[in-house]
Structure 1
Amino acid sequence: MKQIPLAIGPEPMFTFDNFLPGANTAALAELRALRPGAAFAATVPPIFVWGGSGCGKTHLLKALAESWQSAGLQVGWYDAETPLPWELPSQPSLLLLDDCERFDAGQQHAAFALFVEAATQGLTIVASGNAPPVDLSLREDLRTRLGWGPTYELQPLSEQDMRAALRQEAERRGIHLSDDVIDYLLTRFARDLKHLMRLLTRLDEFAMSTKRAVTVPLLRQMLADEGLNT
C-alpha cells in the first residue's frame, strides 16, 4: 500500500537571493533598490514588471514583500484570488498587485482606489502582468496608473539558468536531481519555470510516498499515475 506523505516538505522560498536574473538584472536591481521606509518621503511612481508565464514576476513581488516585511513593515498583496473589499493594512508601506490582467471589473475598481489612497499616503506600488500596461484589457484610468512609472519586460531564463534553478530548488528540498531527470523535464514539458517547479514538488512528494530515489523511471511512474503521457 502506498503511503500518503504528510505536508512536511519545505515551503517554496521567494527571495532576491534565490532569484536567478538571467537577462533581468535591470528589473532585479530596481526592486532591490526600493528601500523600506524610503517611500514615505514622497510619492514615487509605480513599477510594473511584465512577461509570460514562469518568467519570475510573482517571485520578484514575493521577494520584495519578504524584504520589506523582514524590516517590520506591512505589505498589502492583491491578486485575482484576493476577495473584495480590498483594504489597506493598518500601517501600509508597500502595495503589490500581481497578475493585473486577471482582475475582474470589481477588482479593477478596487485597484484604482488603492492607487488613489497610495498617492495620498506616499506609498510604493509594484505591479505585474502578462503584457505592458498599454496592452492590458483594463479600464483606462487603471492602465494609465500602472504605466505611469518604470516598466520592465522579464525575459525567460536560458536553458542553463533553468537547469540551475531546478537544481537549486532540489538541493533546498534535500533531493538529488540527476542530469537525466532534468533532461526529461526540459524535453517533454514546456519550459515554464513555474510549471516545472510544481512538477518538482509533486515528484518530491511522490518519491517520499514510495520511499524511492528521484529517477526518470520514478518520474514516468508518477506521470502515468496522474494520467499524463510520458
Structure 2
Amino acid sequence: MKQLVLDLGADQAQSLDSFEVGQNAELAHLMHQFAGRSSREHFAYLWGEASAGKTHLLHALAATPGSRYIRADHPDDFTYAPEVSLYLLDDCGALSADAQIDAFALFNQIREHGAYMVSTGAVPPAVLPVREDLRTRMGWGLIYQIHGLSDDEKIAALTHAADARGLTISASVLPYLLSHFRRDMRSLSTMLDALDQYSLETQRPVTLPLLRDLLQQAASPHHPEDAKP
C-alpha cells in the first residue's frame, strides 16, 4: 500500500488519444493535424483555465518526432533548429522579459522556415501580460479556448474508463472523489488506477469506505511501517 500511495503523483504518459475531448472536438482534430504537420495553419494558441488540458496537449504533441517542448528557463530551447518542425510553448503569460525576447525571435524564424508552433496561456493573446509585438505574434494563427470538462463529463469519462477495465464502482464513489481530491482528469485517472489496484490487493469492492481509506492514506506522508527497520 505504501508504494501505491507514492505512485499517486507519478507522471503518466500523455497522448492525444487520452485527451478527454468534451466540448473541444474541433480543437482535438486540429491537434492531430499539428501532430502530423498537415494543418494549413502553422500557428495555434490555446487558452483556458488551469487543468483544462493545455499542458496535456503540448506534452502529447512533444512525443511526436521533430517536436520540442520549450522550457521557459532554458534559453537554448528558443533556438530554431532545422530538425525541429513543431515548437510547443506553455504558459506564455509567465515568460520573463528575456524569454519574451527569445520567443519573439523564434516566432519570426518559425514563420520564415514554415515550421509549426502551438502556444498556450490562461487568457487570450490580446490580454496577455507580455510585450505587444509578442502578443501580436501569438495571435497570428488559430486561437482556441479549451473548455474544461463539467463534473458530469468527468464522471462519464471515469465511468467509461472503469467499465473498459471491468471495474465496478459504487454510485457514490466518483461524486465524492470530485469533491475531495484534485479535480484535473490526469489526477482523477491516476486515482482510478490506484483504486483498482487497492481493490485487488485488499479484495474489497470499490465503495465509498474503500475510497475514504485510500484518500486518508494518500494524505498521510508517513506511515507507521516507514519507521520500522
The CA deviation at 1:175 is 7.2
Q: State the 1:88 CA deviation.
A: 3.7
Q: Is the 8 A contact 1:15 1:59 kept in 2?
A: yes
Which structure's CA Rg is the greater one? 2
Match of 2:67 in 1: 75
Alpha carbons 1:79, 1:103 under 8 Å: kept: no
Identify the match of residue 49 of structure 2 among 48, 52, 55.
52
**Which one of 160, 165, 182 corresponds to residue 174 of structure 2?**
182
Sequence identity (%): 33
1:18 matched to 2:9:
no
Listed as ranges, the matches of 1:161-200 within 5 Å are: 161-167=153-159, 178-189=170-181, 191-194=183-186, 196-197=188-189, 200=191
Instruction: Indicate how the Cα distance of structure 1 residues 106 and 173 shifts in structure 2: closer, same or farther if over 3 A, else same.
Output: farther
Alignment-mate amino acid for residue 27 of structure 1 = L
Q: Which residue of 101, 106, 113 maps to 1:109? A: 101
Tell me the CA shift for residue 146 of structure 1.
0.4
Which AA in structure 1 matches 2:56?
H
- SS of 1:47's partner is strand
Please give the alpha-carbon distance, in whole angstroms, between the structure 2 residues aligned to 1:219 and 1:156.
Answer: 26
Alignment partner, residue 85 of structure 1: 76
Amino acid at match of 1:83: H
Which residue is 2:140 aligned to? 148
Q: Deviations over 1:27-70 (max 9, x none)?
A: 1122223363547xx9x44101110011111122223333xx2x
Report deviation, 1:150: 1.1
After superposition, the C-alpha distances for 1:86-134 in whole angstroms (9 at most, x for unaligned) are: 2344501111111112211222122112112212211111111111011
TM score, norm. by length of structure 1: 0.74
1:127-182 per-position Cα deviation (integer Å, ceiling 9, x unaligned): 11111011110111111100111101111112232124445666899976554332
Supply the distance in 2 between the matched residues of 1:56 and 1:47 (Cα, whole angstroms). 15
Letter in 2 for 1:29: H
Give TM-score, length-normalised by structure 2: 0.75
Secondary structure of the corresponding residue to residue 110 of structure 1: helix
Could you say what the CA RMSD is over the residues aligned between the two structures, in angstroms?
A: 3.6
Aligned residues: 214
In structure 2, stretches of 5+ residues that fail to align are 223-229
Q: Structure 1: any 5+ residue segments left out of the alignment? A: none
Determine the structure 1 residue equivalent to 2:118.
126
Counterpart-to-counterpart distance in 1, 2:97 and 2:196: 38
CA distance in 2, matches of 1:126, 1:79: 14
> Which structure carries more helix by proportion?
2
